[in-house]
Structure 1
Amino acid sequence: MSQSVWTDHIKLPDFHKLEEKKKTHVLIIGGGLSGILCAYFLELAGVDYILVEGKRIGSGITKNTTAKITSQHGLIYDKMIRNKGKEQALVYLRANEQALEMYRKLAKTIPCKFEEKNSFVYTLKNREWIEKEVSAVNSLGFPAKFVEKLPLPFETEGAIQFSKQAQFNPFQFIAGLAKNLNIYEHTFITEIAPNKAWNEECEIYANKIIVATHFPFINKNGSYFLKLYQHRSYVIALEHAQNVNGMYVDEAKQGFSFRNYDNLLLLGGGSHRTGKQGGNYDELRAFAKEYYLEGTERYHWATQDCMSLDSVPYIGQYSKHAKDLYVATGFNKWGMTSAMVSAMLLSDLVQEKENEWSRVFSPSRSIWHPQLFLNGIEATLNLLTPTFKRCPHLGCALKWNPIERTWDCPCHGSRFEEDGSLIDNPATGKLSFVPKK
């Protein structure tokens, strides 16, 4: 059975289930790191709020992160400067650096094994891409540098280094952050209307609602079913392996990532679009067998990321036509830093404060990117696949995942247990039938 290193030996605070009618100024739906940080900032500001979580806080994507806190998000800055201009790239960089600084500040009072580390994006064959990224980041006034040699068990063509980035234990952080917040657990919201959210057991009336559920589950606004797809990746934690003394990730989508936690090496990779085939744990274990002969696997886990059209998260008003409804999604592979950015931005927006980050992260920005058409083609092919095994979200054909023994949706990433129980949204309920493989 898979288990992340974060969930072992760490007990999170318990909260009651909501089974009545409530009124509040701000309702936050989703008890992952993003939602909890939103609640924390509203608590500090004295704003009336409620946070509801369908299962337990931190039980979704947050528990399966590799917990890197960095403003180095692949090779994003050269692309942003070319496609959006230097001003927006600079705002994006500043937002993520301020998020990192806020973690640094909070970690002084919340024990969470926060450690400053240098962060690297390396390449196996595209040295020119790294050189362009260094130049782009330097043009924004940030001191990134090109590095020739890395302490990895294979040769690279170089890397870009960001200094003074960080890593931490997200479950320890949540445990310290959430204990005094106004949270209800086991409260799975199934419906939202203007200024109201509910399920069969409770109703919540709110002036403003924040949807922080990883993948937004409301289809009638925002077109997130076209703007997002989900991507799975895998981690094994090895004892008696290498101390890489930093955080490393391949610029290629199918590459490996490396970082240490205590006496463990966290090796990530094997990624693929949810519902498709990929390297999964087999690829990681084959790599470990070749390069870390004495390494012993202590933990293994998988996660999935919401991928936006342009590699920038969607944070802000849910859509132009959804007043007082807000969203945080599309964090790509950088959920820890993006969770803080979203909380800082959304806590301003629900208090009707100006925030210079709004334009860069606006969910209503242009959707005309090549990935939009790829998402559309994927959805069309799966909708036309003749099978009774269909996702209750929008009716796409489900695929059996033999590695994790789950039913996965290639269109939008909903996942279900072998018996049909819901694991990951945007679906909001179990399968109406018990699938047979």
Structure 2
Amino acid sequence: MSLHFGSLFWPNSYREPVNYPELSGRLSKSVVVIGGGVSGIICGFELSSSGIDTVLIEQQRIGTGSTSANTGLLQYSNDKMLSELIRTIGETDAALFYRACKHASEKLCDIAESLPRGTEFKRRSSLYYASSPRDKATLRKEYNTLVKHGFAADWWEEEQIAEHFSFRRSAAIVTRGDAEVNPYLFVHAMAEEAVKRGLEIYEGTKMLRVEPNGDGYTIFTSAGRIEAEHVVYAVGYTPEAAGGRWPKTKLHRSYAIVTDPLPSLAEWHERFLLWETARPYLYLRTTNDNRIIIGGLDENLRQPVSSKQELRAHSMRLLAELRRLFPAYSPEIRYEWNATFGESADGLPWIGEDPDRPGQHYCLGYGGNGTIYSCLAAEIIRDRILGIPNAVAPIVKPDRAVAAE
């Protein structure tokens, strides 16, 4: 099943990535990570950095699945606001989860800055604005909740927004400590560094089945097999590949466009990351060469569109939204795509050991913060393997009580 359709932007930034061999024969490791996208690579990076003997297999090439369609925003705020999450899971757990996301964002920023290969990483602030005046009260409640729990945030009224941008909205929250990155470069740079730390990577190696073998598992692949104590499923938006009965995912599709470079982005204050209170929401960012990326228009359909005509109709809607926000710009579409994404009924990712299958772990960072969730997953799975308690693990565990909506 295809995960995206259209012309992708990021792969053009690294046309000759490092190639990894196909697995043949037998291999014995402590952990096998299945999936070479952002989730799998972050997990492989974390495990190998912790001294855990790990191998990663990818059925195609590193970063060619959903990672190529990722728009590269690193934000700790969730699709479900902290004030909303409190109503779902309680104040203590919700605040703990948000702090964990903030920690994950900071960790990813530190990793990106430490990698020898450039990843077009930039630290940014985010402007979360009210889509309509009736959202102002909800947004104010969220601001008060963030401040109450120690998150640095500023409240902007309409006039302050208009002073910094070419559009007006009734109110907005400004949060600090977010970032943007080229996800394709980031994944490849992390993979190269993880190999230096002991991770083995095999491309063109498809997982066929996993069978118990006493103290662990045998993973049968397209041209070999792996004996391992632990299996990590970082299989992106193909949850059926992970098996098990716990993840109850909702798969949708979303759209994005990237413009040609613009002469100037002077009206875009500090290159803030932009998003809104409406659901589904629009989100926008810039690139280091003065392009604009805008995404949204989510639909409750799993399969991406299959025609250029249908894709272009949605792309033009995104372009119209961009021009409404920044009427002084004259952007033209250069890249456009539609891609599958997933979420859960409670807005939280599926992370941790399957209670029915000890030693098999989910690394399914579903939601708008997928890269952040992947970092959380890597730490939770690492701690489980090493026997270290992790306070966030019970919040996102696969068998938590959640309705399959």
| Shorter-chain TM band | 0.7 to 0.9
Mean Cα deviation higher: 193-202 or 286-295: 286-295
Matched, 1:287 2:321: yes
| 3-state SS, counterpart of residue 344 of structure 1 | helix
> In the TM superposition, what whole-angstrom CA distance separates every residue of 1:45-101 from its partner, at most 9, and x where no partner exists?
221111000111111111111111111113420012122122111211121111112
Name the structure 2 match of 1:76.
Answer: 81
Matched, 1:308 2:344: yes
Counterpart CA distance in 2 for 1:54 and 1:251 is: 37
| Distance change in 2, residues 1:220/1:98 (3 Å) | closer
| Aligned pair partner of 2:374 in 339, 346, 361 | 339
Mean Cα deviation higher: 344-353 or 287-296: 287-296
TM (norm. structure 1) is 0.78
- Cα drift, residue 316 of structure 1: 0.6
| Distance change in 2, residues 1:34/1:64 (3 Å) | same
Pairwise mapping of residues 13-92 of structure 1 onto structure 2 (< 5 A)?
13-92=18-97
| Distance change in 2, residues 1:161/1:349 (3 Å) | same
Name the structure 2 match of 1:363.
Answer: 398
| Distance change in 2, residues 1:295/1:210 (3 Å) | same
Name the structure 1 match of 2:249.
Answer: 228
Name the structure 1 match of 2:138.
Answer: 129
Counterpart CA distance in 1 for 2:183 and 2:9 is: 10
Counterpart CA distance in 2 for 1:300 and 1:292 is: 22
Determine what percentage of the aligned residue pairs are the same residue. Answer: 23
Report if aligned partners of 1:143, 1:162 keep a CA contact under 8 Å in 2: yes
Counterpart CA distance in 2 for 1:134 and 1:117 is: 19
Counterpart CA distance in 2 for 1:327 and 1:219 is: 7
Pairwise mapping of residues 273-422 of structure 1 onto structure 2 (< 5 A)?
273-275=300-302, 280-288=314-322, 291=327, 294-318=330-354, 320-368=355-403, 372-373=404-405
Which is helix-richer, 1 or 2? Answer: 2
| Distance change in 2, residues 1:288/1:144 (3 Å) | closer
Aligned AA (2:299) = H
- Cα drift, residue 259 of structure 1: 0.8
| 3-state SS, counterpart of residue 138 of structure 1 | helix
- Cα drift, residue 313 of structure 1: 0.7
> In the TM superposition, what whole-angstrom CA distance separates every residue of 1:348-406 from its partner, at most 9, and x where no partner exists?
222222211111111111023xxx24xxxxxxxxxxxxxxxxxxxxxxxxxxxxxxxxx
Report if aligned partners of 1:191, 1:197 keep a CA contact under 8 Å in 2: yes
| Aligned pair partner of 2:294 in 260, 267, 272 | 267
Aligned AA (1:230) = L
- Cα drift, residue 157 of structure 1: 2.6
Report if aligned partners of 1:316, 1:363 keep a CA contact under 8 Å in 2: yes
Unmatched tracts of structure 2, length 5 or more: none
C-alpha RMSD of the superposition? 2.2
Counterpart CA distance in 2 for 1:40 and 1:219 is: 20
Mean Cα deviation higher: 277-286 or 203-212: 277-286
- Cα drift, residue 288 of structure 1: 4.5
How many residues end up aligned between the 2 structures?
Answer: 367
Report if aligned partners of 2:25, 2:223 keep a CA contact under 8 Å in 1: yes
> In the TM superposition, what whole-angstrom CA distance separates every residue of 1:310-354 from its partner, at most 9, and x where no partner exists?
011111113x21110000114211112112111122122222222
Report if aligned partners of 2:47, 2:378 keep a CA contact under 8 Å in 1: no
Aligned AA (1:237) = V
Report if aligned partners of 2:365, 2:374 keep a CA contact under 8 Å in 1: no
| Aligned pair partner of 2:126 in 111, 119, 123 | 119
| Distance change in 2, residues 1:30/1:132 (3 Å) | same
Aligned AA (2:293) = L
Pairwise mapping of residues 170-189 of structure 1 onto structure 2 (< 5 A)?
170-179=183-192, 180=195, 181-189=199-207
Name the structure 2 match of 1:140.
Answer: 149
TM (norm. structure 2) is 0.84
